[in-house]
């Protein structure tokens, strides 16, 4: 089933938002590198890579259905220089909440059109967003618990460095 023109526009917007997410995470990683928190920077950089995988999943879906995906304008990341670890992960959480709502709107639009073919992909993203929000929330809560305790922050930083490389998804399909 071919994607409607209206739904294709929404898929293109989502593709652009995933690349926007990648740039945002990359900038957040830079902020943590600049403050000598390499573990947090590593975690955020891995997430930037995963967002590209997300964009590619949408691109592949649109191509597989015989349509032509187009990447839109990716805005510069809105991350204040010198943001603390707490501010960085709060920004990440806010960003994930925006993405989650965008995915829900995509689900609503696809359902309204009876676009059953996109359902498995969109269900995967609904699950993925639940997981991503929960993970970022947990990191943020732990940063708040640590507060001004320098050694505590360094411990958390080294824990986050252990996030494995690669992605959760196979980019080769």
Residue nearest to ligand FEO (CB): 54
CA–CA separation, 141 and 159 (whole Å) = 15
For 84-121, b/e burial (b = at least 16 CB within 10 A) is ebebbbbbbbebbeebbebbeebbebbeeeebeebeeb
- The correct pick among 31, 51, 115, 157 for binding ligand FEO (CB under 6 A) is 51
Helix axes 119-146, 150-160, angle to 10 degrees: 150
- The correct pick among 48, 99, 146, 156 for binding ligand FEO (CB under 6 A) is 99
CB of 154 to ligand FEO, least distance (A): 26
CA–CA separation, 162 and 44 (whole Å) = 12
User: Can residue 21 be called a binding residue for ligand FEO (CB under 6 A)?
Assistant: yes
User: Can residue 157 be called a binding residue for ligand FEO (CB under 6 A)?
Assistant: no
Q: Which is nearer to ligand FEO, 21 or 83 (CB)?
A: 21
Q: Which is nearer to ligand FEO, 132 or 146 (CB)?
A: 132
Q: Which is nearer to ligand FEO, 14 or 83 (CB)?
A: 14
What ranges make up the beta strands (E) of 98-161? Answer: none
List, in order, residues 6 or more apart from 21 with CB less than 8 Å away.
48, 51, 54, 95, 99
CB of 150 to ligand FEO, least distance (A): 29
CA–CA separation, 35 and 81 (whole Å) = 10
Residue position matching structure tokens 């890579």: 49
CB of 18 to ligand FEO, least distance (A): 5
CB of 99 to ligand FEO, least distance (A): 4
CB of 125 to ligand FEO, least distance (A): 7
Interface positions with ligand FEO (CB under 6 A): 18, 21, 51, 54, 96, 99, 132
């Amino acid at each position: 089933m071919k994607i409607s023109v209206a739904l294709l526009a929404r898929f293109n917007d989502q593709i652009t938002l995933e690349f926007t997410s990648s740039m945002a995470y990359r900038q957040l990683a830079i902020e943590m590198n600049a403050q000598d928190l390499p573990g947090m920077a590593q975690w955020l950089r891995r997430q930037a890579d995963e967002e590209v995988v997300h964009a590619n999943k949408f691109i592949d879906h649109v191509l597989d259905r015989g349509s032509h995906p187009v990447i839109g304008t990716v805005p510069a990341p809105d991350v204040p220089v010198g943001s603390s670890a707490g501010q960085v992960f709060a920004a990440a959480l806010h960003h994930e909440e925006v993405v989650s709502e965008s995915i829900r709107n995509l689900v609503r639009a696809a359902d309204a059109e009876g676009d059953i073919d996109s359902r498995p992909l969109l269900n995967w993203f609904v699950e993925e967003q639940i997981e991503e929000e929960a993970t970022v929330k947990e990191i943020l809560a732990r940063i708040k618990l640590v507060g001004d305790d320098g050694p505590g922050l360094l411990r958390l930083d080294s824990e986050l460095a252990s996030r494995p490389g690669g992605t959760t998804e196979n980019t080769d399909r």
